[in-house]
Structures are given as C-alpha cells and as structure tokens.
Amino acid sequence: MEQPAISDYGYLSDCRSGALVSRAGSIDWWCPNRFDSPSVFGRLLDPNGGHWKLAPVAVGQAGHRVQRSYQPDTLVLRTVHHTAEGSVVVTDALAAEVGARAHEFGMRSPAVLLRVVEGLSGRVPMTLDYRPRPEYGLLTPYLRELPDGSVAAMAGSVALVLRCAGLPLRAEQDGVRQTFAVDAGQVLGFDLAYAPAYGEPPARLDPVSTLADTVLAWEAYRESHRYEGCYPEVVRHSATVLTGLTYARSGAVAAAPTTSLPEEFGTDRNYDYRFCWLRDFAMTMRALWVAACPTESSRLFEWAARSIGRIGSDPVPVLFGLEGERDVSEHVCPHLIGYAGNGPVRAGNDAWLQRQLDVPGEVISAVWRLHDYLGEQLPAELRDMVLGLAEQVATTWRLPDRGIWEPRDRERHYLSSKVLCWVAMDRAVRLAPQLGEQADVRRWAGIRDEIRATVLRDGFDERRGVFTAAFGSPDLDAAALYLPVVGFLPATDPRMWATIEAVERELGGADGLIHRWADDPAGFVLCSFWLVECLVLAGERERAARLFEQVTGYANDVGLFSEQIDPATGAHLGNTPQALSHIGQVNAAWRLTDPTGE
C-alpha cells in the first residue's frame, strides 16, 4: 500500500475522539474511547494497523476524480467520487448525541462512525474493506455475523458493531470485504459503533437521520458564536477545527488527534500530541475569544485549575491527559513501523517531566484576556491558580528551562521563556483587583521590571543587533516574534524590528514559511502567522495580508494544517490537524482586523 500524504487526510470529530479519512475513502486512524486512547484503526502508522475503506472500486484508476469539502461550520466531510461508471458521494462523520445542540454538543458522544453513500449518477461499483485492529494493531478480533446482517467484532476491552440497513454484511476471519453497486438516487447508511467490551452494548443508531442531526448539532454550535472581522470563513473553519480538538467532557484541548507523524523523515522526531498542553490551552483561549466564543472560558479555566491542583515549589506541569491526568509517561510501540516506515511510534509524552517557564505566563495571560467575563472577583479555584502561578514565577524565573520547543538535550536560559515570565508578572499586576488581598502587587511589579531589564541586557546580541534564542547564544529563534505579540516590545522598536527582519531573512524565504531555527528542516505554521502579526504591528498591513493569504494557501483541500510545511514540496509534516497552526491563523486574522489585538 502506498502511504497517503499527511495532507490527504480529512478530520472527523465528536469532541470525544478523532478520526482521519483519506481521499481514497479509508479511515486509517480512530481512537474511539477518547483522543488519547488506543486506536482500533491505525493504518496511518502501519499497514497492518487496521482501517475501514468505503469507496468506488475505481479509486486510483484513470479517470477517477475526487472532490472534498466540509459541510459549512461542521466537521462532516463530503467526498464526491467521479468515475467512468458514474458519480457517488460518501459523507463521513462522528455522530453527535441525538438532539444535542449548542454547548451540549460532545458531552455524551455515542462513539459511532457514520458513513452515508449516495448515488449521484450512473451505477457505481463500490468496495467495502473493514479490518478493525484494536490496541494499536496488537489484536485481531473475533468477528461474528448477527441475525440483523451486522457484524460484531470483539477483542480485549473493545466491542465494535458494523451495520448497514439494506446490505447484509459477511464476516471473514479478520474483517469484512465485499463489493456492491450504488445507483443514482440510492442511499445506503453505514454505522460503526464502539463500546467497552464489559459495559453497555454499542449504540444502535440510524445512520441517515443521525448524520442529519449531527450536522444540525454542529451548525447550532457554530451559530452561537459570531465573528466579525477579516477572513470570516477561514476563522470560522479554524474555530470549528479547534472545537473538534476539544474533549467536551472536561474542556481540555488536544494539541492534535494523532501521534508520531514525523516532523522530519529519517529522525526520531515523532511525538504523541493527543494531550492538553497548558501553553496550547492558553493560546486556544485567545483564539476562542477572537472567534467570539468567550462563554467557554469558565469551564476551560475550571479544567486548568483542577488539573494543576495546588501549586507548590515543583514546576507547573507542561501537559496533562484530557481528564487532568498528570503522568502521561512515554513508551514505544515496537510492533508499529511508523508513518511511511518512519518510526518510532510513541504513546505518551515525556515532555510532562520538563520545566518550561513560559507556561504560567501563557495561562495568566489567558485569564487576563478574558477577565471581563469572569466577574469582579475571580472564582476561588481560578484565583488560587493565578496567585500560585505568579508566586512560582517570582521564585523560579532565574532558572534555565527547556523552552517553548521542548528540546530533549539540556536546559538553557531561553529568551521566550524569560519574556513569558515577564508576561506572568505583568498580567498578574493587572489582575490584582480581582485577586483579593493576597495579590503582592508591589513585589510582582518589581520582579516584572527586573525580568524586563534582564531580557533587554542578556537576550540582545549587540554584535548582531538582534534578540537571540537564549542568553549568550548567537542563534536566531523564531520564538522572538512572540515579543511584540505579547506586548513586551513594540514591533517598531529598532531592536525588535531588526530581529523581525533577521528572522524573515534568515529563517524564512519567498515561500512565506518561517523555520523555528536555522537547521529546522520545515516551516513551522504558527511562526509564519506570528510574522503576520508582527508585520501588522509594525504598520506593514498590506504585506501582512499577502503573507497571511500565502500561508493560508498551504492548508490542504479541506482547510486543515499539520504542524509544519516542507518548503520544497509543500508537503505537510507532523501531527495533524495541529491546534497551534489553526490558533495562529485565527489570531493573525484578528490582528489584521484590529491591530491593537484588543
């Protein structure tokens, strides 16, 4: 099997789990219990990892043509196949709970994949190839034909039932493989329902009516959020993607729904992103604020406060499981060869053990951004979290850390981390009226000013005339673009503008893609959108708009971004869809709308 490009995949979500479906009609990734649970379809990472293909027999043959699109304001994906025999549309979705609307969406998702086939013209021969492989492909389930024509699959802790009204399914030893034909006007609905093996049986839903109800649930959710600014369709779509990366039961936002898609081929830079980074969470809060979704803030902050717990002398955790789990230790799945043979495949992420000093600043900044919605006095858990984070920064900001890019070599005094320590103190001072008597405003302000002076002295390379990656380092880092974005320095400050120009010149190119550092092999999408914001703040709005449109053009055919883009080929690299990339797009669009960002 030829491995589809990362950009070939569309994304489905029920705000509980995520699935990836290729242009060829194969669902190659699904972790049905929740985003970070073991997969039942894992062909994304190994040819034997399991999949469910539903497509014309002519897929890949001469004359076969594919058109894909999401139904507006949803993650319901329509794939139209044009063949020599005729045309057919396959509509894919992860089911919402029947009747769920607005903020009920995703709270009780039934864990059911819906696939509805509709003949548009002619008579199209179709193929169904269903091979579930639970536990990241370790298990081959027992399959059993049921009296109603459906097929049950049982293995380990997983129960699956595949149904199609009007088409009896035939089980083979390790899957279901059969062909059928669809005439113009004919509709066939398939549903695949998951449940724990020792609990309630898988849900039984009518796929056609449930698909229609799922569309209504998405539309109702997005209709409750009004964005009025530049590039409204782009912003609404990215906000929808961010909603689809949210684990609705807790409010946690997964960095991506996938693991181990390579950032660079031939290396071991394959990581599991199916967790909630506090940094990404905080940036998501700003993006949701931009997309007119501030009402989510209270529940999301509640998740953050409860996950962090009481703050002591230990470093604030960098990331959590989706229900607040602290230990997400990493292990390798040696039986999986990895995407296009590029292993290792990892489950878990050992970055949870790192010290990253920027994290408190991101979280406190998110609270400040939404403070008008949180009342004159912050809720007790949220107030204690902000106080604890501020005090931890006050006592630790002088320490080295691993920085925003999470290198696994050694700690350094990263510029971006120190700047976010300044942000933590600055925003804590501003929040003081809502924090009560424990807010140590005078002390915090003094530390804020000391951090600023230290950054301006030790983070600026007088010889090169730019801000560098870390104190004492001559290297450039695109994270320096974050300084104007968070208000540390104006983009027009001569030192800052020289740094922006150097990053654009040395870490970017005519392709519009900004690399994080000099030997970073691909453009990092978030950094490119940071440059858009910097150009707006420097008064270069027209150039910023051109860059925004250029970078937006790297999204795949259904508007999804992975983490990085190969400048030579335009290929997507890293886990997908990537929250940070869509966050960057939303925030850059708003900066083009309102240069103050307020």
Q: Is residue 598 part of a domain?
A: no
- Average pLDDT of the segment spanning 395-413: 93
Confidence of residue 283 (pLDDT cuts 50, 70, 90): confident
For residue 292, pLDDT beyond 60: no
DSSP string, 552-581: HTTS-TTS---SEE-TTT--EESSSS-HHH
Same domain, 150 and 238: no
Confidence of residue 62 (pLDDT cuts 50, 70, 90): confident
For residue 280, pLDDT beyond 70: yes
Q: Is residue 552 part of a domain?
A: yes
Which residues, in sequence order, are CB contacts of 409 under 8 Å at separation 6+?
none
Question: For residue range 334-367, what is the model confidence (pLDDT) as tens digits?
Answer: 999 999 999 999 999 999 999 999 999 999 998 8
209 vs 42: CA distance, rounded Å: 28
Confidence of residue 574 (pLDDT cuts 50, 70, 90): very high
Q: Is the dihedral of CA 309, 311, 314, 320 positive or negative?
A: positive
The residue whose two tokens read 């230790």 is: 329
Domain final residue pick, 173, 207, 222: 222
Is residue 582 within 8 A of residue 529, CB to CB? The reply is no
Phi and psi, residue 350, nearest 5°: -75, 0
3-state SS, residue 196: strand
Same domain, 264 and 168: no
- Average pLDDT of the segment spanning 449-470: 97
Whole-number mean pLDDT of the chain?
93
- Average pLDDT of the segment spanning 324-328: 93
Same domain, 313 and 204: no
Domain encompassing residue 162: 6-222
Which range among 263-277, 288-302, 516-530 shows the weakest confidence by mean pLDDT? Answer: 288-302
**What integer pLDDT is reported at residue 291 of this predicted model?**
64
Confidence of residue 297 (pLDDT cuts 50, 70, 90): low
Record the tokens describing residue 475, joined without a space. 């290297």
- The CATH number linked to 203 is 2.70.98.10
For residue 598, pLDDT beyond 60: no
Return the percentage of the chain with pLDDT > 90, whole number: 80
For residue 299, pLDDT beyond 70: no
Same domain, 237 and 203: no
402 vs 388: CA distance, rounded Å: 21
**What integer pLDDT is reported at residue 545 of this predicted model?**
98
Confidence of residue 537 (pLDDT cuts 50, 70, 90): very high
**What integer pLDDT is reported at residue 379 of this predicted model?**
85
**What integer pLDDT is reported at residue 407 of this predicted model?**
87
Same domain, 217 and 296: no
Domain final residue pick, 207, 222, 237: 222
Confidence of residue 295 (pLDDT cuts 50, 70, 90): low
Same domain, 142 and 250: no
Same domain, 216 and 233: no
Question: For residue range 70-120, what is the model confidence (pLDDT) as tens digits?
Answer: 999 999 999 999 999 999 999 999 999 987 776 667 778 899 999 999 999
- Average pLDDT of the segment spanning 45-52: 98
Nearest by Cα to 205 from 95, 292, 317, 305: 95
